[in-house]
Amino acid sequence: MPAPIHDLVIRNGTVATASDVFRADVAVRKGVISAIGMALPPGREEIDARGKLVLPGGIDSHTHIEQLSAGGIMNADTFETATAAAAFGGTTTVISFAAQHKGMSLRKVVDDYAALAERGAMIDYAFHMIVSDPTEATLTKDLPALIAEGHSSIKLFMTYDKLKVEDETLLDVLSVARENRALVCVHAENHGMIAWMSRKLLAAGQTAPKYHAVSHPRGSETEAFTRLITAAAMVDQPIMIFHVSTAEGAAIVGDARRQGLKVFAETCPQYLFLTAADLDRPGLEGAKWMCSPPPRDRSDQEALWQALALGDLQTVSSDHAPYRYDASGKLSGGPGSTFKQIANGLPGLETRMPLMFDAMVSRRRPEFSGRALQAFVNITATQPAHIYNLAGKGSIAIGYDADIAIWDPKARVTLTDELMVGRSGYTPFAGRTVRGWPETVLSRGRVVVRDRTVSGRAGGGRHIARAGGWAAEPARR
């Protein structure tokens, strides 16, 4: 008998891509998909996927890992625990942040995060560079060099005292990005409106976590989106608007796109499945649901689903920003903390894919009728790979990385704090039962989750160097 040519064959499964669903075996050789077809020859290893779905691993393009918040609080997850959580939930690539704080050299920041990820990551990863101190050296030396080295996206904040850029510096960074072909991702909320509302609420003694939602008026999103889109159009620079939370925000993005502007946008499970009412809990408990922007209303959820189906929003990321509900995280300001003293962010790496699968495929959200599985793959894997230029990722195709999640579409799993692999100690989605779960997950052909148990190795992931690609090309209107 000749030696098997494939290292692994995933046999008898139903394969889905962003365009098709079909029965096929999928073979892997040297970490890459080497054949797709019926009755492939035996592999050195075989996985029986009868009754299962063979899908591209998820790409989570907005995750905060091992990151120090502006308030000096460390995320609960390391690269090892975050990527274990990601893999457990069917995600095989993450884009996290190299976060510059004021006074820091961007070059050193990127080197430091790269060293942490190289040691810890179990799955492949890339970085967005957070620029909060756009000095001459950052703009003229570090950014062009780092973009050329494959860090082709920049993240800016229009709010948060210690991170925000003003309009003039926003334009500086947008034009440096244009010259060097990087995508600019933005947390767009009007800082003054949030600061003013917060001051008024605190003065009135309204300090509980639920007032965090009140302190981020809907208009802070729409005003910042409009200002940002206008600035980006002025210098003809493509942008990605992070975590769209309101119906009006999604409409502004859709209008901009229909004018031919290169505006991309994402939303997150917290805006599709939670509402501001989730923050209304006794004592400080609501802190576990505090993120920025805050979850809104049911009508916003519906509008965001429609915007996803229309393509006005292209991706759903987790915005994983995990803090424990104790003195190391959410409660670092002590038991009397006001909402202003509580770190913003939710854990979400391991629940993003199952929540989306459950809503789109199992419960058949009507917007995707007839193409639910393809739309799920598109939103959670193919589109992020395309927009962030992650070559060889986000689909099941010959020559692509064997980043594959084998889903049991019938598995019923109740999300609980105890089930979570990440270190935040809780999930804001606890108590929901989802149908469909990624039982086995491969990262470049290596099994990183087998039968729902993480088996990946810290340091097994690789950095993906990316040029800006199609999304970062100016529209030249």
Binding site for ligand URP (CB under 6 A): 64, 187, 291-292, 319, 321, 344-345
- Residue 133 contact partner, candidates Zn ion, ligand URP, none, CB within 5 to 8 A by sort of partner: none
The b/e string for 422-437 (b: 16+ C-beta within 10 A; e otherwise) is bbbbbbbbeebebbbb
* Of 52 and 296, CB closest to ligand URP: 296
Q: Give min distance, CB of 368 to Zn ion, in A.
A: 26
With 0-12 / 13-18 / 19 or more C-beta atoms within 10 angstroms meaning exposed / middle / buried, residue 397 is middle
Give bridge partners of residue 9 from the DSSP assignment: 27, 46
CB of 472 within 8 A of CB of 177?
A: yes
Pull the structure tokens for residue 138: 């950052």
- Residue 468 contact partner, candidates ligand URP, Zn ion, none, CB within 5 to 8 A by sort of partner: none
Q: Give min distance, CB of 189 to Zn ion, in A.
A: 8
* Of 160 and 362, CB closest to Zn ion: 160
What backbone torsions phi and psi does residue 266 show, to the nearest 5 degrees? -125, 160
* Of 33 and 184, CB closest to ligand URP: 184
Phi-psi region of 55 (alpha: psi -120 to 50; beta: other; left: phi over 0): beta
Q: Give min distance, CB of 204 to ligand URP, in A.
A: 24
Q: Which residue has the tokens 């062009």?
A: 144
* Nearest Cα residue to 226 out of 188, 191, 173, 172: 188
* Of 187 and 386, CB closest to Zn ion: 187
Give bridge partners of residue 230 from the DSSP assignment: none
Nearest-angstrom CA–CA distance, 106 and 113: 11
* Of 89 and 345, CB closest to ligand URP: 345
Coil vs helix vs strand at 20: coil
Residue number of the CB atom closest to Zn ion: 187
CB of 283 within 8 A of CB of 338?
A: no
Nearest-angstrom CA–CA distance, 273 and 263: 24
Give Cβ neighbours of residue 25 (< 8 Å, ≥ 6 apart).
Answer: 9, 10, 11, 12, 13, 35, 36, 37, 38, 39, 40
* Of 99 and 434, CB closest to ligand URP: 99
* Of 209 and 456, CB closest to ligand URP: 209
Q: Give min distance, CB of 120 to ligand URP, in A.
A: 20
- Residue 291 contact partner, candidates ligand URP, Zn ion, none, CB within 5 to 8 A by sort of partner: ligand URP
* Nearest Cα residue to 86 out of 343, 471, 460, 476: 460
* Of 58 and 345, CB closest to ligand URP: 345
* Of 7 and 319, CB closest to Zn ion: 319
Q: Give min distance, CB of 163 to Zn ion, in A.
A: 9
Q: Give min distance, CB of 345 to Zn ion, in A.
A: 7
Q: Give min distance, CB of 160 to ligand URP, in A.
A: 7
* Of 319 and 439, CB closest to Zn ion: 319
- Residue 155 contact partner, candidates ligand URP, Zn ion, none, CB within 5 to 8 A by sort of partner: none
Nearest-angstrom CA–CA distance, 199 and 354: 38
- Residue 245 contact partner, candidates ligand URP, Zn ion, none, CB within 5 to 8 A by sort of partner: none
- Residue 83 contact partner, candidates Zn ion, ligand URP, none, CB within 5 to 8 A by sort of partner: none
Show the 3-state SS of 324-338.
CCCCCCCCCCCCCCC
CB of 269 within 8 A of CB of 242?
A: no
Q: Give min distance, CB of 321 to ligand URP, in A.
A: 3
Q: Give min distance, CB of 445 to Zn ion, in A.
A: 30
* Of 187 and 257, CB closest to ligand URP: 187
Positions that interact with Zn ion (CB under 5 A):
187, 319
Q: Give min distance, CB of 101 to ligand URP, in A.
A: 13
Give Cβ neighbours of residue 323 (< 8 Å, ≥ 6 apart).
Answer: 69, 73, 75, 76, 329, 330, 343, 345, 424
- Residue 344 contact partner, candidates Zn ion, ligand URP, none, CB within 5 to 8 A by sort of partner: ligand URP
CB of 221 within 8 A of CB of 247?
A: no
Q: Give min distance, CB of 270 to ligand URP, in A.
A: 8
End-to-end alpha carbon distance in the chain: 61
